[in-house]
Chains A and B, each alone.
Chain A
Amino acid sequence: MTEQKFNASREAPLKGVTVIELGTVISGPFTGSLLADLGAEVIKIEAPGRGDVQRFLGLKKDGVHPWWGVAARNKRLMTLDLKHLEGKAIFERLIRKADVLVENYRPGALKKLGFDWSRVHEINPGLVMVSISGYGGTGPLAGRPGFGKVAEGFSGAVALTGSPDEQPLFVGFSLADTCSGMFAAFGISLALYHRDIQNGKGSWIDLALYEPLFRMAECQLALERSGAMPLRRSSNDPYGWGIEQPDRPVFKCVKASDGQWLLLSLPSPKGNATIARPAGQSLEEWAEKLTSTELREAVLSAGGEIVPVMDGKSLADHEYLKACGDVVNLATAELGTFSAPGFIATPGDKSVPFCNASVGEHTEYVLSRHLGASVDEIARLRREGVV
């Protein structure tokens, strides 16, 4: 048997890469989070004052928003007034030394501040810039505002989710935003490879929020051309593509007697799930009389497949996810003991799984470490409201 090449002492893949994040809920900050997970030094710039709206999303305990603590981890949080003349000058100095700029301001907003692609490319020809917006930087809707849920509806993904007899369904988290973050991180990884291994030049990635989902729902266009209109069918089959597929297994979500939901698939000649059960009993009625373990044995014996439908609590408790490094247990004074997601790559030496950082917490660090600003200069910038 060959072993995976794994060297616990090696550095995270983006160590040494500096990222400037001009991110606001949710795609920009999530892109920054992924890059930080990969070892980059991520400097998140917020306007002086309340900071990114992401700070206030979701439930809070003792004044702490757990979501923010994950979204801000391993980032350097600084404030900077980009409308102030000196703020612009500091921003220029930062991007001159940076490798990546991530922004998801409304289209045109950064240009109004004097920093569109042509300008930042002029300042730093090696810079990789990613702009994420509702509809991208070109096309008739380019200037329109767009949030994730609207992008999900636009992509075709929502029409493929739910029951044909009911309203289509959104996926229950910020799907388009985080998909965009994932594809933006992919694009940045590519562009850094291209710059450092191929030709030395920076690149501009122009990503619309709907495009990653549109890219992944890749069979819908050819199916429409063929006349097999893809549309949600309550199949719960991810390889169903919203069309009739009589050769596919039957997928069902059932609830066991212990309250656990399970997703199972059963062989289905002619669309009928084959599993022995009392006459007249539906699959759901049969399942609710068995425990999860009994169901597992029955389904596997019948040649089917079965897994539990996991939620935030069962994921945090599962031995497999802990073994994968996906669950990190920690404690803070405000939140007590809790679990946070692990890192998507070997964490770097500065990696922390949770950071409830305040607005401008690392302003001084960034100014002195990255720009060599003196204590007096930083004090003056504070007095003048630049940072």
Chain B
Amino acid sequence: MRSEQKFSAGSSREALAGLHVLEISSTPGASFSAALFADFNASVYVGESLPDGSAMRHRKPGMWWQIIARNKKSIAVDTSHPDAGEIVRKLLSQADVVITDVPARDRSNHPWLREAVRVPHTPLFVEVFPTGADQPATWPWSRSSDLSAASTGLMALTGIAGKTPVQPEFPMTDYLAGTLAATRAIAELRRAKLVREIAEDVAVPLHQAIFRMIEWQMPMATVFGSPQLRNGNAFPMNYSISNMHLTRDGNYVTFSAANDAQAHKLMEMVGGKELCEDPRFASSEARRRGLEDLYKITEKWMAERTLNEVLGAASRHDVVAGPVHSTKNIVIDSHVESRGNIVEVATESGPSIPMPGVVPRVEGWAAAVRSAGPSLGAHTAEALTACGFSEDFISRAAAEGLVATGFK
């Protein structure tokens, strides 16, 4: 239950206001974790090494940086310069949280993180790193972030039965690991502040979030002696009605019926009361055995109708169904618009770009996308001033190439 606590001067609408985060990352998982902090009003600075800056800045497509670095600030330092250490130490000293893709065992080799041993105040380290990177002795395989989905169980479960394993073509594995890390880190920060302890570091290998999400896969495999494997668009184990069919006008429609009541509504829609009474589908156990037959009926019914006709019937029968949206459908969807799911964000150079709004939505909070990804070093001067460096020092450091300030 709630503890008695004197509240800080943070804004009543900005959840993480006053929290200083330093991001040191070249991969999407840790960067997304930091983006979640930034969405909720933490001050997130990306520490970038000159001359090129963060590797995230250069990943394709080009707009990725604008989106993943939204609401963040950029500090650029030539970490190979002999005087860089003092600057990095001061920046680490200012941080409450460091979010990185470098596991603790590799910190001493990293130009930013090796300075952490020499700062009196130790920030909370949040590490989101490729599977195996923390314990290579037990992981003889590659430690590349873009292969991490294979170690979650997801790919073994996705695809046509007996054919090639598949994963979605966006960095879901990385981003979910980043979300889990942010969740744990904020919970730990709260605990540590309440009991006035030093927060304990958070380490999340990239496989860990999805691995936890598929909570049944190991119990099923080890209790029954063999793993569940990909099953096309039907659920593994056929445990519930759920599939996707093509409509007469060439669209895909999804439908789902997780309980008896929903199953009856679906069957009544495609085959009337007669189908509900068919002994092959009359109980959940019978449906599990006869699911392929039921899918043949639903497939034929949907193939004879347009998407709008299917969705209209679903609405009348209270059946759970929906379209498989491509992006071009999403951007014109009135519900998406109404929820404010798409925001238009100005960029430092060039036209504004659309990106997803803040998730989750919290009533009354000021979480918003305030800026797109910053140019290299745009906030170096601001950050160094906050660390106590003089204007003269910053000008000299910029002239020597020790830092980049983003000023032309």
Contact = CB atoms under 8 A, between A and B. Distances in A.
Top 5 closest pairs, chain A to chain B, by CB: A312-B221, A172-B157, A312-B217, A66-B219, A178-B213
B321 interface: yes
B392 interface: no
Most chain A C-beta atoms within 10 Å of own C-beta, residue among B113, B360, B364: B360
B61 A184 contact: no
A2 B107 contact: yes
A25 to B, nearest CB: 5
B186 to A, nearest CB: 4
A22 to B, nearest CB: 16
B169 A237 contact: yes
A95 to B, nearest CB: 12
Contacts of B135: 320, 323-324
Interface in A30-56: 30, 33-34, 37-38, 53, 56
Contacts of A130: 360
Contacts of A211: 339, 341, 359-361
B229 interface: yes
Given A150-B321, A197-B8, A312-B217, A207 B222 contact: no
Interface string A325-349: 0110000000111111100111000
B188 interface: yes
Interface stretch (A4-12, A274-282, A372-380): A4-12
Contacts of A213: 172
5 contacts: A140-B334, A158-B254, A191-B15, A245-B61, A263-B155
A301 interface: no
B275 interface: no
B191 A320 contact: no
Interface in A211-230: 211-226, 228-230
B84 interface: no
A216 B173 CA distance: 10
Nearest to B122: A5
Contacts of A240: 169-170
B147 A206 contact: no
B67 interface: yes
Contacts of B148: 307
Given A145-B320, A311-B221, 15 more contacts: A2-B113, A156-B326, A160-B170, A172-B230, A173-B236, A186-B179, A238-B169, A263-B150, A263-B165, A306-B142, A311-B227, A326-B212, A335-B223, A339-B218, A340-B218
Contacts of A194: 15-16, 365
Contacts of A208: 339
A312 B233 CA distance: 19
Contact count band on A: 35 or more
A99 interface: yes
Interface residues of B, number: 168
Most chain A C-beta atoms within 10 Å of own C-beta, residue among B188, B216, B237, B326: B216
A222 B240 contact: no
A201 interface: yes
A190 B16 contact: yes
A192 B149 CA distance: 31
B386 interface: no
B172 A238 contact: yes
B197 interface: yes
Contacts of B399: none
B151 A198 contact: no
A101 interface: no
Interface in A59-91: 59, 61, 66-67, 69-71
Most chain A C-beta atoms within 10 Å of own C-beta, residue among B158, B174, B323: B158
Interface stretch (B46-54, B71-79, B350-358, B377-385): B350-358
B151 A193 contact: no
Given A148-B256, A221-B330, A225-B354, A6 B201 contact: yes
Interface string B91-105: 000000000000011
Contact of B2 (A126, A309, A339): A126
B318 interface: yes
B224 A344 contact: no
Given A186-B36, A313-B227, A235 B169 contact: yes
B349 interface: no
A30 B213 contact: yes
A243 interface: yes
B88 interface: no
Given A184-B360, A238-B172, A265 B146 contact: yes
**Majority-rule SS of B interface residues:** mixed
Given A170-B244, A339-B218, A3 B104 contact: yes
Contact of A222 (B8, B66, B107, B362): B66
Contacts of A199: 7, 10-12
A172 B236 contact: yes
A253 B149 CA distance: 12
A316 interface: yes
A187 interface: yes
B142 A307 contact: yes
A248 B60 contact: yes
Contacts of A10: 197, 200
A315 B153 CA distance: 8
B7 A198 contact: yes
A263 B173 CA distance: 15
B242 A147 contact: yes
Contacts of A382: none
A219 B183 contact: no
B10 A341 contact: no
Contacts of A387: none
B144 A305 contact: yes
Contacts of B313: none
Interface string A229-256: 1111111111111110101100101000
A306 B147 CA distance: 8
B10 A70 contact: no
B201 A338 contact: no
Contacts of A308: 141, 150-151
Given A169-B233, A221-B355, A33 B360 contact: no
B390 interface: no
A135 to B, nearest CB: 6
Contacts of B117: 2
A161 interface: yes
B141 A313 contact: no
Contacts of B134: 324
B174 A238 contact: yes
B219 A197 contact: no
B239 interface: yes
